[in-house]
């Protein structure tokens, strides 16, 4: 008896939850309404089957519970019934599959008028590339990648000069414009997903993948980009933003972005003392700058600009002065002193990866990473003991 | 269902399969346990080698660099003339010969001619050992020419990776087979299987023929492609 | 006749063990090996349970415990998944149920190669130990690459445990596959070649069909994992590039080129999808038997059930890429794999219908094993139906890598087989030990586990947030709504309760061993051969002098005109009535 009642409650609650749960899909903002429709179709077919089986079980467990004097039927099989069930199931499956495949056919064939945009993913940031006025992407190669050239642009390819490169995790798109998104990864698998657009696809290092959609809804707050494929320890921090604009706003925004040619022209090597230069090179080659910026922007970790000698508030409310001891601690056991507002996300580095000499160089770098307006006033101390580079 | 065993009637052709599968006690009539188990193991092992070869074919198509030319890489210089695939031809010949001697051993086993069966098993093991020796020679030669699992002088690094991995795994199979042959041959001469039909020789032979067959595929895919 | 007569098993001498070591530790008795497998699997399952608490704590109460850092979180996620799928479910259903039931249900003395069988367990034990070496203090800890171990990230520094962790994991898997192969060869050979007189294939209980088919799948699918484990180890240790393309990770140019990350995914899922059925098919089989016995009614549509098992097993090899719809493979694969995937729904649905139809006009005894069986059916229905969402390629696009997937696979291949394992233990414990498990504790355990897991996983389907996130609320993110936070907290709290209830079960196992009610030979009044042994618990060799002879299928319950409502398989036809 208890079984039948509990099963009944479970069926009822499950059905109710399906209709009245506070957790629903986000409001759609792309052309993929048909994806939602296939989900809804599947939901109805499966929901009805669930309810029928559930109710049937409630009835049987209540009606045919054990009685001493009762005897079960002896019915090894019933070919007619079994055939009927098989046929009906097959029909239900086809009813879900056929529309699904039609929409999938749509999904894999981008329209001819789609604009091409490249999404470059790397641990743990998003970058975007528009092909520029010539409509052609410049060629790229992993070997070309440096901190100043995250896309690995091929400098000798003129097609790349007018490519517009966006590296701050935020991209704008024009409303009602179909986009064919080319996905590329520098390191591991990632997956570009904006829940409101429904569509998603993995980016795979060593190859280029794609999907397409048309943004259809302009919204004040930008749409959040999530990484939907585990990509390492900071997977969950790999967020970005897509702002859908009117065509005019979008064109204005795009015109204000730097092309690859402008970026190359604008790169002015900063002058460092020899030890700090070594620190900078070390930071680049070891990957510190993936999470720590040198321009004041907060990334996964705090920026290094104007960091030295300041007072920092930690997650537990205590404060600490950024000095050598703090830097050492932050490298050897980073999660013991996490600055307020950041997740304990950094890997610990031991002597074999970051030697004491390396830390010394990093400290020198930190001391020289100060904002431009003060830099004239506070000249770096002369590094007397600097090793020859 | 609960039908009683059907009355014995003569069946032929496909119907015999149905009859065997619907019978009791054993499905494969007259097949000893060890033999059935070896067949099933070999089926599983077939999947291992198929997957090795599939993986090899895949990386050969995904790698960006050119694949080294097999007939140049695997050539021996005889009298100042590079002869393509000479060593491999000898190795293949050697292994196929060993399959022949193994078949003889199985035959003599079933004739209960223990002495000859054991002798041919040792001969088979000898051919197997020679094969492994030649493989060691080939490895040494390639390593001295700069082939490593992660690089080689001629092109795609996957060449070395696949070569060492697949021939290495096959070589392990051959070595295990040699050990297996010797152990079984010793046991036979000590009289351990005197009460049986000597199907153990056939079981050992199944494994050995399988290893030879795999080599034919490796040969075709790696050296001839 | 050209064929040699194979002697019946009575002719083969049995070597009884004499020392404690050969009797309980290096025993060749399939029943002891089954118990060894079972205890080890449960022990390692408890580790996985604690790991799930760690990750649920982080998701339910992010930031509350700062010792749960992303590293620990991802390591726990990975180890929990791998332990559950391989070292608990596969090992328990095949290693424990398989070992115990195959010879007993077939009327065999033992497995055909008891020595290999004994080695199999100890190799499995070694694989568990190697897996746990990932936690050796002083090393970097186990891998945090997710149980799918996708390269390139699994062996790059941005992932926890990218050296020691992943190597112990891969080594452990390879060793496990060796253990499984030794056991599996035994199960198949025993089923094919060592049945007792009268035991035709179509008289075998469905448990044996499920276990046998799952073993076939395992023998053909594990090679893919074995080979990919070898290749990934080489990539990591020797720097080969099987799965590694040219990569620049964390501003460091890696020394790889030309490999294919998708190759690994294909190989992994060529193993991984049959693996789902390696777990599911034995559960299907066992639950069919439980339902039939306790409903006092023959299983409905036995022949169709058998063919459904065979069909599912065969189809399971051509559906693997439905795990990769959005993985970047050629999109046209989607058409093929969506079609094959939905085809597999038909035989699976037939099995569900037949379980429920078995209840129709039955005489259901709501014993603890039966409760678990019924709970399995409803859980499996939910998990199976949500599989239709994920199997249909376009519907999968918005759902993949969200909590919908987590809910789906936990329902269908996590909770459902676990419920069957519990049901099976409650059902066969009397045969294994000679004593019944305590019913009161059993009922508590059942209700908490069933309702708890349903409350955990059913609402999870509605959480449209990505899985494998350490934390959702970051910066200006709004993906996690307040109602979702409440749900996450409730799931976590329920998970604690359900987890604790499992200790009730373990307590029951231990206490009932000494204090449980005497069971007798056949407490459930069941038909299959394991209940016809001359002694309970069965002694070494199971049957005494002569093996039983089978005269009927295993489902002669409530046959009209009979005095009793069950007729064991070894009762001759003429003796009935």
Interface subset of C 199-218, CB within 8 angstroms of B: 199-203
Gap between the Cα atoms of C194 and C107, Å rounded: 8
> Quick one: pLDDT at residue A379?
42
> Quick one: pLDDT at residue C324?
95
Gap between the Cα atoms of C408 and C387, Å rounded: 7
Residue of A nearest to C487 (CA): A23
Gap between the Cα atoms of A198 and A37, Å rounded: 12
Question: B32-223 has which fold?
Answer: 1.20.120
Q: What are phi and psi of C541, to 5 degrees?
A: 95, -10
In 3D space, the residue among B118, B85, B111 whose CA is nearest the CA of residue B126 turns out to be: B118
> Quick one: pLDDT at residue A361?
84
Chain C residues whose CB is inside 8 A of the A340 CB are: none
Gap between the Cα atoms of C368 and C254, Å rounded: 56
> Quick one: pLDDT at residue A268?
59
Predicted confidence band at C213 (pLDDT cuts at 50, 70, 90)?
very high
Where exactly are the structural domains of chain C?
A: 25-242+259-472+479-532
Please, are residues B134 and B122 in contact by the beta-carbon 8 Å criterion? no
User: Across residues C68-94, what is the average pLDDT?
Assistant: 95
Q: Give me the residue from A23, A32, A202 closest to C484, CB to CB.
A: A23
pLDDT in tens, chain B (225 residues): 344 444 455 677 788 888 888 888 888 988 889 999 999 999 999 999 999 999 999 999 988 888 988 888 888 777 777 788 888 899 999 999 999 999 999 999 999 999 999 999 999 999 999 999 999 999 999 999 989 988 888 889 999 999 999 999 999 999 999 999 999 999 999 988 888 888 999 999 999 999 999 999 999 988 887
> Which positions ≥6 away from C455 have C-beta within 8 Å?
C490, C491, C494
> Quick one: pLDDT at residue C575?
58
DSSP B122-158: HHHHHHHHHHHHHHHHHHHHHHHTT-BTTB-TTS-TH
Q: Is the pLDDT reported for residue C201 higher than 80?
A: yes
Interface subset of C 96-125, CB within 8 angstroms of B: 112-113
Q: Nearest CA to CA, how far is A35 from chain C (Å)?
A: 6
Q: Is the pLDDT reported for residue A388 higher than 70?
A: no
* CA angle centred on A63, ends A62 and A67, rounded to 5°: 100
> Quick one: pLDDT at residue A389?
37
> Quick one: pLDDT at residue A385?
42
Gap between the Cα atoms of B132 and C65, Å rounded: 58
Exposed e or buried b for every residue in B175-193, given b needs 16+ CB within 10 A?
Answer: eebbebbbebbeebbeeeb
DSSP-assigned beta bridge partners for residue B151: B148
Residue of C nearest to A298 (CA): C475
In the CATH scheme, what architecture does the domain C25-242+259-472+479-532 have?
A: Up-down Bundle (1.20)
Q: Is the pLDDT reported for residue A378 higher than 50?
A: no
pLDDT tens sequence across A109-155 = 999 999 999 999 998 899 999 998 888 999 999 888 887 888 999 98
Please, are residues C407 and C78 in contact by the beta-carbon 8 Å criterion? no
Q: Nearest CA to CA, how far is C226 from chain A (Å)?
A: 22
Q: What is the mean pLDDT of chain C?
A: 92
Chain C residues whose CB is inside 8 A of the B45 CB are: 223
pLDDT tens sequence across C460-485 = 999 889 999 999 988 888 889 999 99
Chains that touch C (3 or more CB pairs under 8 A): A, B
- Residue scoring higher pLDDT (A317 or C479): C479
Q: Nearest CA to CA, how far is C214 from chain A (Å)?
A: 23
Gap between the Cα atoms of C529 and C132, Å rounded: 38
> Quick one: pLDDT at residue C16?
77
What is the torsional sign of CA A246, A248, A250, A253? negative
Q: Which class for A262: exposed (0-12), middle (13-18), buried (19 or more C-beta within 10 A)?
A: middle
Q: How many CB atoms lie within 10 A of CB C192?
A: 21
Q: Is the minimum CB–CB distance between C94 and chain B shorter than 8 Å? A: no
Taking an 8 Å cut-off on Cβ atoms, the answer to whether C153 and A187 are in contact is yes
pLDDT tens sequence across A332-353 = 888 778 887 777 777 778 877 7
Q: Is the pLDDT reported for residue A220 higher than 50?
A: yes
- Domains present along chain A, CATH in parentheses: 2-68+75-108 (no CATH), 115-265 (2.60.40.420), 270-375 (1.10.760.10)
Residue of C nearest to A185 (CA): C247
Interface predicted TM-score of the whole assembly (ipTM), two decimals: 0.92
8-state DSSP, A380: P
Q: Nearest CA to CA, how far is C116 from chain A (Å)?
A: 39
Q: What are phi and psi of C99, to 5 degrees?
A: -65, -40
Taking an 8 Å cut-off on Cβ atoms, the answer to whether B45 and C223 are in contact is yes
> Quick one: pLDDT at residue A349?
80
Q: Is the pLDDT reported for residue A68 higher than 90?
A: no
Q: Which class for C327: exposed (0-12), middle (13-18), buried (19 or more C-beta within 10 A)?
A: buried
Name the strands in the sheet holding A200-203, side by side, starting at the edge strand that comes first in the sequence.
Answer: A170-174, A240-245, A223-227, A190-193, A200-203
Q: Is the pLDDT reported for residue A271 higher than 90?
A: no
Gap between the Cα atoms of C252 and B187, Å rounded: 58
Q: Nearest CA to CA, how far is B65 from chain C (Å)?
A: 8
Taking an 8 Å cut-off on Cβ atoms, the answer to whether B52 and C551 are in contact is no
DSSP A48-99: HHHHHHHHHHHHHHHHTB--TT---------HHHHHHHHHHHHHHHHHHHHH
Taking an 8 Å cut-off on Cβ atoms, the answer to whether A76 and C302 are in contact is yes
Q: Is the pLDDT reported for residue C506 higher than 50?
A: yes
Q: Tokens in use for A354?
A: 């970051």
Q: How many CB atoms lie within 10 A of CB A146?
A: 13
> Quick one: pLDDT at residue A110?
94
Q: Is the minimum CB–CB distance between B204 and chain C shorter than 8 Å? A: no
pTM of the model: 0.90
Residue B75 in 3-state DSSP? strand
Q: Is the pLDDT reported for residue C253 higher than 80?
A: no
Residue C450 in 3-state DSSP? helix
Q: Is the pLDDT reported for residue C6 higher than 70?
A: no
Q: Give me the residue from B40, B64, B160 closest to C188, CB to CB.
A: B40
Predicted confidence band at A331 (pLDDT cuts at 50, 70, 90)?
confident
H-helix segments, A121-238: none
Q: Is the pLDDT reported for residue C85 higher than 90?
A: yes
Please, are residues A179 and A216 in contact by the beta-carbon 8 Å criterion? no
In 3D space, the residue among C530, C456, C547, C544 whose CA is nearest the CA of residue C498 turns out to be: C456
Cis link prior to A124 (omega < 30° from 0)?
A: yes
Indicate which of C181, C200, C256, C567 best probes the interface with B, i.e. most B CBs within 10 Å of its own CB. Answer: C200
> Quick one: pLDDT at residue C255?
85
Where exactly are the structural domains of chain B?
A: 32-223
Q: Is the minimum CB–CB distance between C395 and chain B shorter than 8 Å? A: no
Please, are residues C567 and C576 in contact by the beta-carbon 8 Å criterion? yes
8-state DSSP, C518: B
> Quick one: pLDDT at residue A353?
77
Q: Is the minimum CB–CB distance between B172 and chain C shorter than 8 Å? A: no
> Quick one: pLDDT at residue C1?
32
Gap between the Cα atoms of A62 and A55, Å rounded: 11
């Amino acid at each position: 008896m208890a079984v039948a009642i509990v099963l009944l409650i479970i069926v009822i609650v499950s059905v109710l939850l399906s209709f009245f749960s506070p957790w629903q899909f986000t409001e759609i903002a792309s052309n993929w309404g048909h994806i939602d429709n296939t989900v809804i179709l599947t939901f109805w077919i499966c929901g009805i089957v669930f309810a029928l089986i559930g109710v049937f079980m409630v009835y049987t467990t209540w009606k045919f519970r054990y009685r001493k004097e009762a005897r079960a039927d002896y019915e090894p099989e019933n070919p007619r019934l079994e055939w009927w069930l098989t046929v009906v199931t097959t029909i239900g499956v086809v009813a879900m599959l056929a529309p699904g495949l039609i929409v999938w056919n749509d999904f894999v064939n981008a329209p001819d008028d789609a604009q091409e945009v490249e999404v470059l993913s790397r641990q743990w940031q998003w970058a975007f590339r528009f092909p520029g006025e010539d409509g052609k992407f410049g060629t790229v190669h992993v070997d070309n990648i440096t901190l100043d050239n995250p896309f690995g642009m091929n400098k000798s390819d003129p097609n790349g000069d007018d490519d517009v490169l966006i590296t701050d995790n935020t991209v704008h798109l024009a409303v009602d414009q179909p986009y064919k998104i080319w996905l590329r990864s520098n390191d591991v698998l990632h997956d570009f997903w904006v829940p409101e657009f429904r569509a998603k696809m993995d980016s795979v290092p060593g190859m280029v993948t794609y999907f397409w959609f048309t943004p259809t809804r302009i919204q004040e707050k930008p749409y959040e980009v999530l990484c939907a494929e585990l990509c390492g320890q900071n997977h969950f921090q790999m967020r970005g933003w897509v702002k859908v604009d009117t065509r005019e706003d979008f064109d204005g925004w795009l015109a204000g972005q730097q092309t690859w040619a402008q970026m190359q022209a604008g790169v002015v090597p900063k002058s460092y003392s020899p030890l700090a230069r070594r620190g900078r090179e070390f930071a680049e080659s070891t990957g510190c700058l993936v999470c720590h910026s040198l321009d004041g922007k907060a990334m996964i970790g705090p920026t290094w600009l104007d960091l030295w000698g300041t007072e920092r508030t930690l997650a537990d409310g205590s404060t600490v002065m950024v000095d050598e001891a703090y830097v050492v601690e932050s490298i050897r056991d980073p999660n013991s002193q996490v600055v307020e507002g950041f997740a304990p996300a950094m890997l610990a580095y031991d002597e074999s990866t970051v030697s004491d000499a390396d830390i010394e160089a990093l400290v020198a770098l930190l001391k020289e990473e100060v904002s431009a307006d003060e830099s004239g006033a506070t000249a770096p101390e002369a590094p007397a003991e600097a090793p020859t580079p | 269902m609960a039908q009683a065993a059907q009355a014995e009637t003569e069946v032929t052709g496909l119907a015999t399969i149905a009859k065997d599968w619907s019978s009791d006690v054993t499905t494969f009539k007259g097949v000893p346990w060890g033999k059935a188990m070896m067949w099933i193991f070999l089926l599983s092992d077939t999947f291992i080698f198929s997957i090795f070869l599939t993986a090899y074919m895949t990386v050969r198509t995904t790698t960006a660099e050119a694949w080294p030319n097999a007939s140049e890489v695997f050539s021996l210089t005889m009298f100042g003339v590079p002869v393509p695939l000479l060593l491999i031809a000898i190795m293949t010949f050697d292994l196929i010969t060993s399959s022949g001697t193994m078949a003889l051993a199985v035959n003599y086993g079933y004739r209960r001619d223990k002495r000859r069966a054991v002798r041919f098993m040792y001969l088979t093991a000898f051919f197997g050992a020679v094969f492994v020796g030649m493989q060691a020679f080939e490895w040494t030669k390639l390593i001295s020419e700069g082939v490593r699992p992660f690089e080689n002088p001629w092109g795609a690094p996957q060449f070395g990776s696949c070569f060492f991995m697949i021939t290495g795994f096959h070589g392990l199979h051959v070595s295990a087979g040699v050990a297996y042959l010797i152990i079984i041959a010793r046991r036979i001469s000590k009289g351990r299987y005197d009460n049986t039909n000597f199907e153990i020789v056939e079981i050992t032979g199944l494994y050995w023929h399988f290893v030879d067959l795999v080599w034919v595929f490796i040969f075709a895919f790696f050296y001839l492609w | 006749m050209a064929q040699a007569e194979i002697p019946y098993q009575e002719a083969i001498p049995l070597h009884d063990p004499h020392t404690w070591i050969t009797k309980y530790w290096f025993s060749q008795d399939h029943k002891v090996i089954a118990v060894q497998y079972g205890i080890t699997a449960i022990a390692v399952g408890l580790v996985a349970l604690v790991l799930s608490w760690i990750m649920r704590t982080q998701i339910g109460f992010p930031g509350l415990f700062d010792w749960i850092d992303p590293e620990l979180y991802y390591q726990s996620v990975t180890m929990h998944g791998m332990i559950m799928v391989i070292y608990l479910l596969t090992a328990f259903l095949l290693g424990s149920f398989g070992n115990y039931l195959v010879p007993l249900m077939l009327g065999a003395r033992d497995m055909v190669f008891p020595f290999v069988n004994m080695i199999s367990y100890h190799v499995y034990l070694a694989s568990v130990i190697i897996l746990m070496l990932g936690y050796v203090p002083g090393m970097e800890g186990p891998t945090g690459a997710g149980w799918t171990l996708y390269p390139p990230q699994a062996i790059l520094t941005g992932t926890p445990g990218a050296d020691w962790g992943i190597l112990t994991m891969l080594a452990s898997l390879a060793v496990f596959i060796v253990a499984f192969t030794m056991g599996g060869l035994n199960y198949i050979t025993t089923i094919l070649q060592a049945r007792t007189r009268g035991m035709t294939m179509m008289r075998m209980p469905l448990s044996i069909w499920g276990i046998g088919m799952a073993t076939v799948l395992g023998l053909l699918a594990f090679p893919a994992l074995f080979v990919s484990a070898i290749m990934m180890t080489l990539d990591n240790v020797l720097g080969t590039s099987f799965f590694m393309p040219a990569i620049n990770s964390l501003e460091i140019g890696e020394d790889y080129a030309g490999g294919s990350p998708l190759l690994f995914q294909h190989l992994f899922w060529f193993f991984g999808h049959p693996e789902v059925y390696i777990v599911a098919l034995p559960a299907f089989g066992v639950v069919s038997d439980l339902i039939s016995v306790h409903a006092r009614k023959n299983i409905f549509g036995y022949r169709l059930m058998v063919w459904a098992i065979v069909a599912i097993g065969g189809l399971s090899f051509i559906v693997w890429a439905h795990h990769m719809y959005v993985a970047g493979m050629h999109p046209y694969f989607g058409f093929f794999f969506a079609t094959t995937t939905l085809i597999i729904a038909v035989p699976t649905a037939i099995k569900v219908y037949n379980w429920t139809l078995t209840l129709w006009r039955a005489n259901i005894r709501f014993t603890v094993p039966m409760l678990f069986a019924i709970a399995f059916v409803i859980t499996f229905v939910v998990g199976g139906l949500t599989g239709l969402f994920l199997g249909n390629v376009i519907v999968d696009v918005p759902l993949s890598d969200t909590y919908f997937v987590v809910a789906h696979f936990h329902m269908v291949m996590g909770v459902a087989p676990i419920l069957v394992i519990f049901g099976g233990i409650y059902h066969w414990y009397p045969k294994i030990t000679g004593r019944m498990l305590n019913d009161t504790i059993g009922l508590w355990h059942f209700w908490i586990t069933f309702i708890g897991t349903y409350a955990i996983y059913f609402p999870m389907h509605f959480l449209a947030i990505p899985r494998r996130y350490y934390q959702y609320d970051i910066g200006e993110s709004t993906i996690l709504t307040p109602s979702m936070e409440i749900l996450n907290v409730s799931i976590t709290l329920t998970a604690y309760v359900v987890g604790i209830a499992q200790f009730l079960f373990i307590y029951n196992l231990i206490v009932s061993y000494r204090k449980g009610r005497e069971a007798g030979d056949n407490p459930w009044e069941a038909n299959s051969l394991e209940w016809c042994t001359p002694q309970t618990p069965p002694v070494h060799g199971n049957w005494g002098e002569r093996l039983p002879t089978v005269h009927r299928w295993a489902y002669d319950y409530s046959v009209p005109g009979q005095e009793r409502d069950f007729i064991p398989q070894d009762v001759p036809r003429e003796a009935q009535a």
